């Protein structure tokens, strides 16, 4: 099961599973990284104006993840990193994104393992 919460320009989600959460988070990050450009294409109009790599935003052309890193594409909250329990936050969606499209691409990528043709 996956729950997705869209708040302003972030997508926070977590999966309910019997696997250790740190393994699920690492797998999700790898899957999100493989489809970075595809996700960016549905994460809102003019996102390149916001995702500059400055002012606590990621660079639109690069994917990165980090614990308590507000400049990362995907942020893992400090408490999640310490307790190995919780959620991750995709900080790439813009406030003008279609929440249904964002939810769809996250589910297809993380839960269903969908890949891009060139992958």
When pLDDT is averaged across residues 57-61 and rounded to a whole number, the result is 95
Taking the CA atoms of 23, 18, 77 and 52 in sequence, report the sign of the dihedral they define. Answer: positive
**Whole-number percent of the chain with pLDDT over 70:** 82
Domain total in the chain? 1
**Whole-number percent of the chain with pLDDT over 90:** 66
H-helix or E-strand spanning residue 24 = helix 21-34
Condensed to tens digits (0 to 9), the pLDDT of residues 18-37 reads: 456 678 889 999 999 999 99
CATH of the domain at 89: 3.30.590.10
118 within a domain of the structure (yes/no): no
The domain in which residue 65 lies consists of 2-111
15 within a domain of the structure (yes/no): yes
**Model pLDDT, residue 9:** 56
């Amino acid at each position: 099961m996956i729950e997705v919460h869209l708040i302003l320009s972030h997508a926070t989600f977590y999966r309910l599973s019997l696997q250790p959460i740190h393994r699920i988070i690492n797998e999700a990050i790898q899957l999100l990284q493989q489809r970075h450009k595809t996700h960016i294409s549905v994460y809102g109009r003019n996102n390149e104006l916001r995702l500059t790599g400055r002012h606590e935003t990621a660079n639109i052309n690069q994917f990165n993840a980090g614990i308590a890193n507000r400049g990362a594409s995907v942020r893992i909250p400090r408490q999640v990193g310490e307790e190995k329990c919780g959620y991750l936050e995709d900080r790439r969606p813009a406030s003008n994104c279609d929440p249904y499209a964002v939810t769809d691409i996250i589910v297809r990528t993380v839960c269903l393992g969908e890949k891009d043709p060139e992958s």
